[in-house]
Amino acid sequence: MTELPIQRLLDIMARLRDPATGCPWDLAQSFESLAPFTLEEASEVVDVLERGDRAALRDELGDLLFQVVFLSRLAQEEGDFDFQSVATAISDKLVRRHPHVFDSQPLAEDVSRTWESLKAQERTGRGQTGVLADVPLSLPALSRAAKLGRRAGRVGFDWPDAVGARSKVQEELSELDVAISQGDEAAMTEELGDLLLAVTSWSRHLRLDPETCLRKANAKFERRFAVMERLAAARGLALEGLTPDAWDALWIEAKAGIQG
């Protein structure tokens, strides 16, 4: 019988962690040391998703899966759980959270509220009773702000519409202006944070993900700046010596010369 690919991966992981014949690097790893690698691999998956590169996506998903297998192996060695129990847990969770699919229950009008209610029950079962409990601190701050806002909004703490959220953005911008005029750095830090948080609320009401919006804006900025660098190099101009007017002219030219 042909070995299943996932079993082959698990067997490879076991050999890499064999105390006698395994790889020294893999043997030296811990939960803590793997954390940044896991975050990096997840970020690379997002990157190829945004680029639409399917071949690269396959490879990056494999790298991310390896992190799951690696962490499961460490847990197995410590007697906590193994990969099979991880797969079982997510399968059970998906069935539990989709009663309209697996238990023949009628589809709720607001599936998202039903989903959140089931998640809240699970958090309570883990002793996490707060609405905002278990939102990962490791998330990018913008993504975490959006997730905190969604959680709060599902229990009613939210603006009624995008207009209300937009007014909050203006309010926070005005408060930031006051802090800037007073030269109060601590207040400026606080008010800028409040402004960014308000923007995530506004984006939610516009049905936009702020992290995705900012990532796309970053990519657009990089493309345009690269064009400016090429234009300046072709004209023998040193970037450090450009005047504000020269930068503006290059920026306008770069915007006109490329799409997005």
**pLDDT tens digit string along 98-117?**
888 888 777 655 666 666 66
Q: What is the pLDDT of residue 128?
A: 65
How far from 232 is each of 223, 237, 244, 252, 253, CA to CA, in Å?
14, 5, 14, 13, 11
pTM flag (> 0.75): no
Q: What is the pLDDT of residue 2?
A: 75
Rg of the chain in Å (alpha carbons): 25
Closest to 175 in 3D by CA, of 196, 202, 197, 194: 194
DSSP for residue 157 = -
Instruction: Give residue 63's identity as a one-letter amino acid code.
Output: D
Q: What is the pLDDT of residue 239?
A: 94
Stretches in the chain below the pLDDT threshold 70: 1, 107-120, 123-128, 258-260
For residues 57 and 81, what is the distance between their CA atoms, to the nearest angstrom? Answer: 28
Per DSSP, which regions of the chain are E strands? none
